[in-house]
Every structure is written in structure tokens, then in C-alpha cells.
Amino acid sequence: MSANALAPYRRLTIKIGSALLVDKAGKLRGQWLADLASDIAAIKSAGSDVVIVSSGAIALGRGLLGLSAVTLTLEQSQAAASAGQIALSQAWAEALGRHQIVTGQILITPNITEERRYYLNARTTIQTLLGLGAIPIINENDSVATAEIRYGDNDRLSARVATMIEADCLVLLSDVDGLYTAPPAKDPDAEHLPVVKAITAGIEAMAGGAASHLSRGGMTTKVEAGKIATLAGTAMIIAKGTEAHPLRSLTEGGRHTLFLPAQSRAQARKRWIMGTLAVAGTIQVDAGAARALLTGKSLLPIGVTKVTGDFERGDAIAVVNPDGVEIARALVGLDSDEARLVMGKRSDAVIELLGTGNRAALVHRDNMVLVGAKEDANELS
Ligand code: GLU
């Protein structure tokens, strides 16, 4: 087999496990990282965007701070993460810097991927970095996250990041080369699965719990990550990363498990807008704007006649026609005060009122679902 597993994808989120980056003595595997950086540079120069989710802060910080206990207290882990994150970022900056690639560090807590205001900002920062040719390096903000509000494993964190930036594939590099019918360490008859079409209860049962010396997530959190990714229309690959050049080997037919997306990203996004979010307000439009929306146009302030409710940018709102009938559900581009300020105004006046940094559309068509599509969306959820 020599198929290039990464060929179909243009935007990759690559999660690197701690056990790949840091050896058992707590030292960075510098040559391994240097080789990986050259794989990443090759993928990037072939035209794909790459976002890295890197573990390893706690593992590096342990060594730096001389914390040798097998199990660290929460406070010790947070201190280790704090010291280790500096070393981790520096290692990435140096490794990718050798390929003239600039890195940007983003530390994330669950509220950032779950609350829309933060989510939109984090997404914009990542997209801006990518647009500038840089590679975002992401980790959980372990040194401030409390036990209740942390992911705790970078498998699920990386799946959230991948769906947030609409990556078409999430690659989990760890110490296993994919999913087996049973944990291979315990069952010699376990068979490797090259493709998982849907994450069924049977697949979840196969995940068992393959933990390694450093990683927090075993196969269970990887399959959880697979659910998050595939339901949002992002494919996921699990591959072994311990040897040199694991990404290059994926492009040369290396063994892995591919989890196929459950639906397209556009379908997933519509389902999310229609089915998951509570409506925070209503925008009434005139007949002309209602017609324009139905032909797939964005919603401009000039067509708005009334704004009801108190909402933030990024909240879900209902768009109603002059008779008060809902015609679309959307993520709004302005908050309710701004919307009231600009309603009925032409786009040039809107730009003058809000400053050039703000877009003239109140709702971009990519963030809108026409209510005719509602039935389908509900059926899916
Ligand atoms: N965020 C943790 C770290 O950087 C790792 C979590 C994980 O390995 O899943 O040490």
C-alpha cells in the first residue's frame, strides 16, 4: 500500500502526544522533533494549512522542576505545566524556525472552545496566523485551568480545535498505530482496523483503554475525539508517531486508522446553528431583504426593521419576515446595541458608524440556515 493518507486534506490539525516529544527521563526528543518539523514544512509547502496541538508541557516541566513522584498533585502539575510550556514553545519555535516558519502560541481552556465570543476570537486569531504563513501551536492552559473546567487530555481538545477552525482532518500522533478490535497489548488476536465508517457502540467497546507512560488519554479519549470530529464533518486519523518522520510515513502509505466524517462540514454547521443553540434575539426584515435571504444573500442592516432581545456577537438569532414568521436562523455578526444602531442604514453609513474594522453584513450567509432546512436539521440531531 502506498496511498498518501493526507492527500485529500487542505487544513490539518495535528495532535502530538507527550510520549513522542518527551522521553522517560523527561528530556525533549530533539532529533525526533527536528524530523517532524521537516515533515510539517513539506506539508505546508505543498499548500496545506497546519495547526499543531502539542502536549508535553507537564512532562517537560517535571524534569525542569525536579518533580519525580509518579503522580503529581494538581498544584504540582500546574506548576510543571507553567515551567514546561515555556520550554515546549521554545522547542517548537526553534524546530519550525529552521524552516523559516514562525510559530504562534495559543493556550486554551474549554470555555474558549465552547463560548461563542471566545470561540470567534480564537478562531480569528488562528486564521490570521495561518493567513500570515505561521503555524499556531496550541495546548491546554493547564497552569490556570481548574479540575472542573479542563479537558485534561489533548485528544478531545484537539478535536474541538479542529472543528473550531473547520479543519478537514485531525491527525492524532501517539504511540499506537490505530484502533484494534481489542487492546493489542492484552489480546494477541486483536486486529487492526484501517477504516472506521461510523463510531458505533461496538467501536467504542473496542477502544478499551490503552494508556502509555505519559499520555493522559488512552484509546477511549481518542475515540471520544473521533466522535467530536466526525460529527462536525472532520475526518480523523490515528497513527503511530514514535518513529522518525511519522507524517511523511502517512504520505507514503504508513499504517493508521481513518475515521470517516459522519456528514459534510457545511451540514454539520447548519445542524449546529439550527439544533444546538438557544435563540437570543429576533431580527425583523422588510420584504425585499426577506426575498434576498431566500436567494442566498447575506443580511445587510438596510433591510432590518426591528431588533428584539439582548444578544452578543456570535449568538444565534431568529430572522423573521414582515409577518413575524421565522425565515432563517443565524449567528449574528454584531451585538444587539450595534444592530439597533445600524438598522435601516446603508452599508457605507454602517461602516462610518461602526468603524472600518466591522463588516457591513449583519449576518453572513455562511452563518445562516434558511428555515426550510429546519426539518432536516432536527432530524439529524
Ligand atoms: N496538556 C498536557 C501537557 O501539555 C497534556 C495532556 C495530554 O497529554 O493529553 O502536558
**Residue holding cell 502509505?**
253
At residue 241, the pLDDT reads 96
Ligand 1 atom, smallest distance to 139 CA: 1
- Is 119 inside a domain boundary? yes
Domain total in the chain: 2
Residues 258 and 338 in one domain: no
Among residues 247, 262, 277, which one ends one of the domains?
262
At residue 56, the pLDDT reads 96
How far apart are the C-alpha atoms of 368 and 376, rounded to whole Å?
A: 15
Residue nearest atom 9 in ligand 1 by C-alpha distance: 153
Neighbour order of strands in the sheet with 326-331: 304-309, 279-285, 316-320, 326-331, 368-370
Distance 57 CA to ligand 1 centre (A): 7
The residues facing 279 across adjacent strands are: 316
- Whether the CB of 216 sits within 6 Å of ligand 1: yes
How many angstroms separate the first and last alpha carbons of the chain?
37
At residue 370, the pLDDT reads 87
Which residues span the domain enclosing 23?
11-262
Q: Is residue 378 a known part of a binding site?
A: no
* pLDDT tens digits along 262-296: 878 777 777 777 766 678 999 999 999 999 998 88
Calculate Rg over the CA atoms of the chain. Answer: 23
How far apart are the C-alpha atoms of 370 and 273, rounded to whole Å?
A: 11
- Is 2 inside a domain boundary? no
Task: Outline where 165-321 has alpha helix (H).
Answer: 201-206, 219-231, 246-251, 265-271, 287-294
At residue 217, the pLDDT reads 56
Distance 362 CA to ligand 1 centre (A): 39
DSSP 8-state symbol, 261: P
**Residues 6+ positions from 211 with CB-CB distance below 8 Å:** 218
Distance 210 CA to ligand 1 centre (A): 16
- Is 6 inside a domain boundary? no
Residues 23 and 164 in one domain: yes
- Whether the CB of 215 sits within 6 Å of ligand 1: yes
Residues 98 and 201 in one domain: yes
- Is 5 inside a domain boundary? no
- Is 4 inside a domain boundary? no
Residues in the chain where the model's pLDDT stays below 50: 1, 209-216, 373-381
For residue 123, the tally of other CB atoms under 10 A from its CB is 18
- Is 3 inside a domain boundary? no
- Whether the CB of 77 sits within 6 Å of ligand 1: no
Rounded (to 5) percent helix, strand, coil in the chain: 45, 20, 35
At residue 367, the pLDDT reads 83
Strand, coil or helix: what is 61? Answer: helix
How far apart are the C-alpha atoms of 88 and 6, rounded to whole Å?
A: 26
Among residues 262, 291, 315, which one ends one of the domains?
262
In CATH, what number is assigned to the domain containing residue 103? Answer: 3.40.1160.10
- Whether the CB of 18 sits within 6 Å of ligand 1: yes
Residues 16 and 62 in one domain: yes
Distance 146 CA to ligand 1 centre (A): 14
Strands 326-331 and 195-196: unpaired
Distance 309 CA to ligand 1 centre (A): 41
Strands 235-240 and 256-259: antiparallel
- Is 108 inside a domain boundary? yes
DSSP conformation letters of 110-138: HHHHHSHHHHHHHHHHHHHHHHTT-EEEE
Distance 118 CA to ligand 1 centre (A): 21
Q: Is residue 49 a known part of a binding site?
A: no
- Whether the CB of 57 sits within 6 Å of ligand 1: yes
- Is 1 inside a domain boundary? no
- Whether the CB of 154 sits within 6 Å of ligand 1: yes
Residues 375 and 249 in one domain: no
Q: How far is CA 146 from the centre of its chain?
A: 21
- Whether the CB of 217 sits within 6 Å of ligand 1: yes
Residues 93 and 240 in one domain: yes
Strand, coil or helix: what is 72? Answer: coil
Q: Is residue 345 a known part of a binding site?
A: no
Q: What is the largest CA-CA distance in the chain?
A: 70
Among residues 262, 292, 310, which one ends one of the domains?
262
At residue 271, the pLDDT reads 72
Angle at 257 between CA 255 and CA 263, to 5 degrees: 145
Q: Is residue 187 a known part of a binding site?
A: no
Residue 37, all three cell numbers: 518539523
Residues 141 and 165 in one domain: yes
Tell which residue, 62, 58, 18, 37, has the closest CA to residue 172. Answer: 18
Q: How far is CA 104 from the centre of its chain?
A: 16
What number of CA atoms fall less than 13 Å from residue 301's CA on the CB side?
25
Ligand 1 atom, smallest distance to 214 CA: 8
Residues 226 and 196: beta-carbon distance below 8 Å:
yes
Q: Is residue 348 a known part of a binding site?
A: no
Residue nearest atom 6 in ligand 1 by C-alpha distance: 153
Q: Is residue 142 a known part of a binding site?
A: yes
Residues 151 and 285 in one domain: no
At residue 153, the pLDDT reads 86
Residues 230 and 371 in one domain: no
At residue 150, the pLDDT reads 76
Residues 200 and 161 in one domain: yes
Residues 132 and 208 in one domain: yes
Q: Which of 16, 18, 78, 160 to mutate to test the pocket of ligand 1 (most atoms within 8 A of CB)?
A: 18
Q: Which of 142, 213, 214 to mutate to test the pocket of ligand 1 (most atoms within 8 A of CB)?
A: 142
* pLDDT tens digits along 157-213: 999 999 989 899 999 998 889 999 988 878 889 899 999 999 988 888 888 644 444
In CATH, what number is assigned to the domain containing residue 339? Answer: 2.30.130.10
At residue 102, the pLDDT reads 98
Residues 256 and 274 in one domain: no
- Whether the CB of 58 sits within 6 Å of ligand 1: yes
